[in-house]
Structure 1
Amino acid sequence: MSLANELAARPLAERIQAMEQLWDSLCREPNYNPSPAWHEEVLTERRAELQRGEHKSWQEVKAGLRNRS
């Protein structure tokens, strides 16, 4: 039986706990970096937009998306 099948047979709460333990162990890896390098570039640009006052509220973004279709 595969690990995936073994986990699927477990109760939901136990699977969630296993997932949390696995994630915690991954985060302790010295070379672990969950974000790709381009994320930092996007965040830097978003911060600059905020400083320039060019950001939009979530309501504005949702309205714009709804109007596109």
Structure 2
Amino acid sequence: MGITLPLEKMTTEDKIRAMETIWDDLCKKDENIVSPSWHKDILEEREKAIESGKEEFIDWSEAKRQIEDKIS
């Protein structure tokens, strides 16, 4: 099934909303999603960055707010 979106006409905010809608739907069926093998490596790198103090966690709602601020 091919889906065509008018990406060139969509704002960044529209594109992010579309991605969030797709992601929310995928999360409802997460047992069907297999993580790629490289995903584990990335997660381990990020965990080490957190442990070493190079990075820190922020709340998802805060992360979304920061993204929205950058694109508006």
TM-score, normalised on structure 1? 0.41
- RCO comparison, higher one (Cα < 8 Å, 6+): 2
Higher-Rg member (1/2): 1
